[in-house]
Amino acid sequence: MKQHLPNLSPGQIEKIARILGDTEFGLTGSQIGHILKQANINDPDPHATKWKRLQIALASCHNKAKNSTCVYNFIFHSLEPARYVGNKQDFNKRQEEIKDQLRLLGSVVRIKHRV
């Protein structure tokens, strides 16, 4: 049975972008570009700050598709355990902050990855 993924609000998409694009604990600019490409999401402004670049890319794909599937796809790609071998602290921080944001939707979205 396929898990139903609730739609995200613009504010939630922005918060997810801020978490994953955080200066101290977020993805690097090159990681963002690679994961956007891997998730088949257009990168409309590669020169923007990391969180803003993500917010623009994720909001654009969300608006085009009229659902949040591409945002969840980016989250799952960005939390792939292989990216965090030797860096469990960053993985745990990002995963917990994303899970906290998704809990606000009133349903549990399972992120099964462990490092």
- Over residues 96-111, the pLDDT tens digits come to 999 888 888 765 555 5
More confident residue, 109 or 14: 14
Mean pLDDT, rounded, for 23-46: 94
Residue 17 has pLDDT above 90, yes or no: yes
Query: Distance between CA 86 and CA 93 in Å, rounded?
Result: 14
Mean pLDDT, rounded, for 11-22: 95
| Spatial CB neighbours of 74, under 8 Å, sequence gap ≥ 6 | 20, 35, 36, 39, 41, 54, 58
Give the pLDDT confidence score for residue 87 in this predicted structure: 87
